[in-house]
A and B are shown apart, each in its own frame.
Chain A
Amino acid sequence: MGLLSDPNRRQVLTNLVTRMNTPLCFLCYLAGITWFMGLAFEPFALRMYTSENAMGSTMVDENFVYGDRALSYSREFSGHGKKAGGMPVDWLVKTMTGLGLETHTQTFTRTLPFPDEIRERYMVKGTNVYGILRASRAASTESIVLSTPVEIRHNNQAGGLLLALASYFRGQIHWAKDIIFLFNEHDMIGMEAWLEAYHDVNVTDISSSVMQGRAGAIQAAITIEMSSDVVTSFDISVVGLNGQLPNLDLVNLFTSFCQKNGVLCTIQGKLPRTDGETLEGYVHSLNTMLMMVLKQGSGKSQGDHGLFLRYHIEAVTIRGINSFRQYKFDMVTIGKVFEGMVRKLNNLLERLHQSYFFYLLPSLSRFASIGYYMPAFIFLLLILLLKALDLWIKLLQVPVCPRDCVEEDVGPGFLSILTPVFICHAMGLALYYVPLLCQDTATDHFPVSETEAVVLTSIAIYVAGLALPHNTQRVLPIEMADCGWMTLKLISILYLALLLGCITLINFSLGFILAVTLVPAAALAQPVSHKMLNALFLLLMSPATVLMLCIYLYHELAEYPITLLECWQLFLQAIAESILDHHLYGSIVYPFIVFFVYPCWLLLWNVVFWN
Chain B
Amino acid sequence: MAASLVLALVVAVTVRAVLFRSSLAEFISERVEVVSPLNSWKRVVEGLSLLDLGVSPYSGNVFHETPLIIYLFHFLIDYAEFVFMTVDVITAVALYIVADDYNKVVFRKQRHSFECQRYAPDVITLVRTPKEMYHIPLKVALFYLLNPFSVLTCVAKSTCAINNAIIAIFVLATVKGSAFISAIFLALATYQSLYPIALFAPALLYLAQKDHVSVNLHCGAFYVYFLKYAVMFLGCLLVSLCLSFFLLSSWSFVPSTYGFILSVPDLTPNIGLFWYFFAEMFEHFRLFFVCVFQINVFFYTLPLSVRLRDHPMFFMFIQIAIIAIFKSYPTVGDVALYMAFLPMWSHLYRFLRNIFVVTCMLISSSVLFPVLWHLWIYAGSANSNFYYAITLAFNVGQILLISDYFYAYIRREYHLVTGLHLKSKDGKEAHIVLK
Contacts and interface: CB of A to CB of B under 8 A. Distances in A.
A8 B432 CA distance: 10
B371 A505 contact: yes
Contact of A392 (B135, B356, B375, B386): B356
Contacts of B356: 389, 392
A310 interface: yes
A353 B353 CA distance: 44
B433 A7 contact: yes
B363 A498 contact: yes
A357 B380 contact: yes
A563 to B, nearest CB: 39
Contacts of B371: 502, 505-506
B415 to A, nearest CB: 14
B360 interface: yes
Given A498-B364, A498-B367, A502-B367, A1 B434 contact: yes
Contacts of B382: 357, 505
- Chain B's interface size range is 20 to 34
B435 interface: yes
Contacts of B354: 4
B434 A5 contact: yes
Contacts of A404: 131
Contacts of B219: none
B431 interface: yes
A485 B403 CA distance: 32
A6 interface: yes
Given A245-B381, A357-B381, A5 B364 contact: no
A506 B375 contact: yes
Interface residues of A, number: 28
B368 A6 contact: no
Contacts of A506: 371, 374-375, 379
B285 interface: no
Contacts of B372: 505
Given A244-B381, A310-B378, A357-B380, A505 B360 contact: no
A389 B434 CA distance: 23
B144 to A, nearest CB: 19
Contacts of A353: 380
A312 interface: yes
A377 to B, nearest CB: 15
A2 interface: yes
B360 A244 contact: no
Interface in B39-75: none
A7 B368 contact: no
Interface string A428-451: 000000000000000000000000
Interface in A292-327: 309-310, 312
A407 B131 contact: yes
Interface in B359-401: 360, 363-364, 367-368, 371-372, 374-375, 378-382, 386
Given A244-B379, A389-B356, 9 more contacts: A4-B353, A5-B433, A5-B435, A6-B435, A7-B432, A245-B381, A309-B379, A505-B368, A506-B374
Task: Name the 3 nearest CB pairs between A and B, nearest first.
Answer: A357-B381, A5-B434, A312-B380
Interface of B: 131-132, 135, 353-354, 356, 360, 363-364, 367-368, 371-372, 374-375, 378-382, 386, 407, 431-435
20 contacts: A4-B353, A5-B353, A6-B435, A7-B431, A7-B433, A10-B353, A244-B381, A312-B380, A357-B382, A358-B381, A388-B360, A392-B356, A404-B131, A407-B131, A498-B367, A502-B371, A505-B368, A505-B372, A505-B386, A506-B379
